[in-house]
Amino acid sequence: MSASSRPANRLGEETSPYLLQHAFNPVDWYPWGTEALARARSEDRPILLSVGYSACHWCHVMERESFENDAIANLMNSLFVNIKVDREERPDLDRIYQLAHQLLTRRPGGWPLTAFLTPIDHAPLFVGTYFPAEPHHGMPGFGDLLQQVAQHYTNNRSQMGDHAKAIRQALQQTEPGYQHSTEPADTITLETAARQLEDEFDAVHGGFGKAPKFPHPTHLSLLLRLAWSQKSAQGSACQMTIKTLGAMASGGLWDHVTGGFYRYAVDDQWRIPHFEKMLYDNAQLLPIF
């Protein structure tokens, strides 16, 4: 059935441009809310949470390849309660599961964010970003992944409570200042965040984590703030910032023809950009430089 002749799903009643883009998918989408969460609990069915926004390129690619694919949609509908979230409407949910992605994969997240959650605690079973419909470049096909996650949940159902508890504890420990301390809260926040960033820092090429590499202007702004509070240009906070800014400006992330920075580099060395520019990245990078 073509999208034009298919009746709208539950997203057809939403106001978000992003959710409305998915209103005619064959997927039985829910918006985040009590109806979807209650169904997941009552049917003991894991949740497939997909987070994106209307201008996201890879969100559109995944929709075209998977969410408009009847065979994949049938798997999604039979195995999961499927929830679509617009990150611009629910930045709180996006933040939680982006943090979970970072925690579980040790890599930065992005959009579309694809998270499989337990039905009661909403703890992540598996988190990723874009997945192709078929296996490609070492990535699993989305249809295969759906079946593997559903099977994992079924086989380990009795352990899901302990899993959710462990995830909650790990997330709490990523929040600066979770331990008692006599230091000012701002100092704890800055120093804890800087230690986490230092663990992810690429001392050879600058930046944080491995490919794909994003500019992360908020990371750099935080490090500059810490360097200023320490009154030191030689400390690790300042040196990480200088190394990263220099690598970004001299490599392919910077558009040497028309100016501005692309959204991210697909390699570790900042040579090959993803050819899309985001205003919010460039607006934040300008004062940092």
Residues 6+ positions from 75 with CB-CB distance below 8 Å: 143, 146, 147
| Mean pLDDT, range 20-29, rounded to an integer | 97
Alpha-carbon 240 to chain mean position: 23
User: Which of the residue ranges 37-51, 156-170, 184-198 would you say has the lowest mean pLDDT?
Assistant: 184-198
β 264-265/29-31 pair status:
unpaired
Q: How confident is the model at residue 228 (pLDDT cuts 50, 70, 90)?
A: confident
Q: Say whether 51 sits in a helix, a strand or coil.
A: strand
Q: Which two tokens stand for residue 281?
A: 């990245």
Element (H, E) at 188: helix 185-200
- Between 164 and 129, residue with greater pLDDT: 129
Full-model pTM: 0.67
User: Which string of DSSP letters, residue by residue, matches 63-78?
Assistant: IIIIIT-HHHHHHHHH
| Lowest-confidence segment of 34-48, 67-81, 97-111, 141-155 by average pLDDT | 97-111
Tally the residues of the chain.
289
Q: Is the distance from CB of 19 to CB of 86 less than 8 angstroms?
A: yes
Residue 187 pLDDT class (50, 70, 90 cuts): low
Structural tokens at position 50: 């997909």
**What is the pLDDT of the chain when averaged over all its residues?**
89
- The per-residue pLDDT for range 206-224, each reduced to its tens digit, is 999 888 899 999 899 989 8
Report d(CA 195, CA 124) in Å as an integer: 25
**Minimal CA–CA distance to 136: which of 210, 209, 66?**
66
Does the pLDDT value for residue 254 go beyond 70? yes
Q: Are strands 81-86 and 124-128 parallel, antiparallel or unpaired?
A: unpaired
Query: Contact, 66 vs 77, CB < 8 A?
Result: no
Q: Where are the alpha helices (DSSP H) in 10-56?
A: 17-21, 34-43
